[in-house]
Amino acid sequence: MSKPILLSVDDGLARITLNRPERLNAFDAALAAAWEETALEATSRDDVGAVLIDAAGPAFCAGGDVVAMATEMGSGAEIEALAHSINGGIAALRNSSIPVVAAAHGTTAGGGLGILLTSDYAVVGRSSRVGSLYAKVGLTPDLSVTAQLARAVGERRALQLVLTDRMLAADEALAWGLVAEVVDDDAVARRAEEVARSWLAGATRAYGEAKRLVRSQPDRAFAEQLAEEAETIGAIFGSDDARARIAAFAGKARS
């Protein structure tokens, strides 16, 4: 039996692959547990400077496995526990100082939208579609969708998605701000890795801290955010990488 999720690390890049293609990478109990464990491992490793989330098969993620919910989970408490487990992985990635890119091909729906929103930079294919679809099975949004969707696209558009079960085409998702880039379907994986490698080749620590500041801002009061910004730029300024880059830039400016 294949693992429900795969993790590989290569030259600073952690690749997390959802691996239930036969169920469109929908979450059952096994994938939920593996997702949380893998996200925690990837964000705690000293040799990881960027994370790439991708998926096996024709879809990125269909959210929760409704068949498993109906046949394997007998109570709301079990569904709640499943959501908490997946949320642990989402929080680990979102709150880390490691930038995350998603390579999202095919369909992203339900809780898969929460996984997409957890990435800091999302690349999708031209034929991709993104939406909610919770109401089709009589459920409410979970996996951070209500926490992150309105921040990404605004409250009115977020309500459109969750109240109409509308599926957005790739270009619409781009226009709404749900994704960062739309590329040819066969270029999604390559482009997402290029983005991740650019973070690793550049000011990796600065990118990571910038991501953390932006992600944590809505959770802080304005004054606290300004203090955190000042503290972080001071700490980054003292790093060897920043010193070298500043010296190089200053040298060019003086010449």
Tell me the per-residue pLDDT of 71-81, one tens digit each, with 9 for 90 and over. 887 788 888 98
Over residues 191-202, the mean pLDDT reads: 98
Helix count and strand count (H, E) for the chain: 11, 9
CB of 104 within 8 A of CB of 135?
no
Q: Has 105 been annotated as catalytic?
A: no
Q: Quick: pLDDT tens for 83-140.
A: 999 999 999 999 999 999 999 999 999 999 999 999 999 999 999 999 999 888 888 9
pTM for the full predicted model: 0.92
C-alpha distances out from residue 87 to 30, 32, 39, 145, Å: 14, 9, 10, 11
Which residue in 54, 65, 120, 142 is the catalytic one?
142
Q: Rounded mean pLDDT of the chain?
A: 94
Q: Has 241 been annotated as catalytic?
A: no
**CA-based nearest residue to 64, from 170, 168, 137:** 137
Q: What is the per-residue pLDDT for 78?
A: 87
CB of 111 within 8 A of CB of 148?
no
Alpha carbon distance 190, 173 (integer Å): 20
Q: What are phi and psi of 202, to 5 degrees?
A: -100, -150
Share of the chain above pLDDT 90, in %: 75
Which residue in 11, 47, 84, 241 is the catalytic one?
84
Share of the chain above pLDDT 70, in %: 100
DSSP for 48-105, please give it.
Answer: -SEEEEEESSS-SB-SB-HHHHHHH--SHHHHHHHHHHHHHHHHHHHHSSS-EEEEE-
Alpha carbon distance 91, 99 (integer Å): 13
CB atoms inside a 10 Å sphere around CB 47: 10
**Kind and range of the H or E run holding 148:** helix 145-153
Name the CATH architecture for the domain at 5-201: Alpha-Beta Complex (3.90)
- The two three-digit tokens of residue 138, written as one number: 């009589």
- The two three-digit tokens of residue 223, written as one number: 């004054």
**Kind and range of the H or E run holding 216:** helix 204-216
DSSP letter (8 states) at residue 91: H
CB of 114 within 8 A of CB of 96?
no
Please name the residue that has the structure tokens 């991708």: 54
CB of 155 within 8 A of CB of 200?
no
DSSP letter (8 states) at residue 166: P
